Copies of this chain bind each other. A is one copy, B any other.
Amino acid sequence: MTATVLRLAPSDKPTLDPMISLVANDMNLVNSVILDRMQSEIPLIPELAGHLIAGGGKRLRPMLTLASARLLDYSGARHHKLAAAVEFIHTATLLHDDVVDGSDLRRGKRTANLIWGNSASVLVGDFLFSRSFELMVEDGSLKALKILANASAVIAEGEVNQLTAVRRIETSEERYLEIIGAKTAALFAAACRIGAVVAERSEADEAALDAYGRNLGIAFQLVDDAIDYTSDAGTMGKDAGDDFREGKMTLPVILAYARGDDDARKFWKDAVEGRRDTDADLAEAIGRVRDTRAVDDTLARARHYGQRAIDAISGFPSGAARDAMIEAVEFAVARAF
């Protein structure tokens, strides 16, 4: 017997294209559910929700539900409503996040809170969240409901945890990992696990897909946080330096602070606590992050989790689904290179 070792070895330019092709037909049906179920007699609801939902998101999380189900040879239709529910939960958290962060740009567009105000964003988020549970109830699986209700509670806990860590220079890498494990990775994990639930597979298969999603989610967030110290608004579709100006304790800052001398530590403390927020300060921060290899090592951490994601699904049969899921990981970690 020959062991197959799947390595995280980015091809020239890994993309999401194989995954997009893999689930294209299912995704059309999911998109129909999304468009249909964001409707309401109150015109502001589809208007505001549509701004974000039609706004060029990759719909990565529902794609993961579809791809996971495909990996397990599921050929039914139950996962369309559940994948839409996953996307609604994600959209609701984005609407609330933008209020919490006071963001004014997302995916290269003005945020809903900037256009319609914080109140409307909060309430339409609540609506989409409720709708996601209505979709799950229609599906009728208590198991899926439990997984997504739990993920939603964990996401909210992670967001509150992040809120209480903000502007606190003493935040550790461990606490940071706890935060992103909750606020980002929990929904990735749940989205993938749902694929095994609809396919009615074993707990071990559920756990494997959960681990794939969770590790991919952590890698994804690490890269996102690294990009904030390498790039600009044009390539990111969000405001460059947002994390910096909001005093968010992301891994690049945690590493740069830990590795810095007294002068560096004073700079970071001042910055995180809100006393340095000019463009020049941002440029200095980017320089300090680069010089301490804090971005490089944030990306190295991302590759570690990416490799774990790939290993988690190495026991499933090879084929188009597994290949697409592997390339999705490579894409996630390669975005910043």
Residues of A within 8 A of B (CB): 40-45, 92-93, 96, 99-100, 118-120, 122-124, 126-127, 129-131, 133-134, 136-137, 140, 142, 145-146, 149-150, 152-153, 155-157, 159-161, 163-164
Task: Determine whether the beta carbon of B152 is less than 8 Å from that of A130.
Answer: yes
Task: Determine whether the beta carbon of B44 is less than 8 Å from that of A119.
Answer: no
30 A-B pairs within 8 Å (CB atoms) are namely A43-B164, A45-B160, A93-B126, A96-B126, A99-B118, A100-B122, A119-B163, A120-B160, A122-B122, A123-B156, A123-B160, A126-B129, A126-B155, A126-B159, A127-B153, A127-B156, A127-B157, A127-B160, A130-B149, A130-B150, A130-B152, A130-B155, A133-B133, A133-B152, A134-B149, A134-B153, A137-B145, A137-B146, A137-B149, A142-B142
User: Which residue of the partner chain, among B124, B149, B150, B157, contacts A41 with CB atoms under 8 Å?
Assistant: B157
How distant is A144 from chain B, measured CB to nearest CB, in Å? 10
Q: How far is the CA of A83 from the CA of B263 in the complex (A)?
A: 56
Point out the residues of chain B lying under 8 angstroms from A129, CB to CB.
126, 129, 152, 156
User: Which residue of the partner chain, among B40, B133, B134, B160, contacts A124 with CB atoms under 8 Å?
Assistant: B160
How distant is A264 from chain B, measured CB to nearest CB, in Å? 29
Given A156-B126, A157-B45, the answer on whether A119 and B142 have CB atoms closer than 8 Å is no
Task: Determine whether the beta carbon of A42 is less than 8 Å from that of B161.
Answer: yes
Point out the residues of chain B lying under 8 angstroms from A41, CB to CB.
157
How distant is A284 from chain B, measured CB to nearest CB, in Å? 28
Task: Determine whether the beta carbon of A164 is less than 8 Å from that of B42.
Answer: yes
Q: How far is the CA of A160 from the CA of B95 in the complex (A)?
A: 14
Given A118-B118, A137-B146, A145-B145, the answer on whether A123 and B159 have CB atoms closer than 8 Å is yes
Task: Determine whether the beta carbon of B142 is less than 8 Å from that of A156.
Answer: no
Task: Determine whether the beta carbon of A122 is less than 8 Å from that of B137.
Answer: no
How distant is A52 from chain B, measured CB to nearest CB, in Å? 15
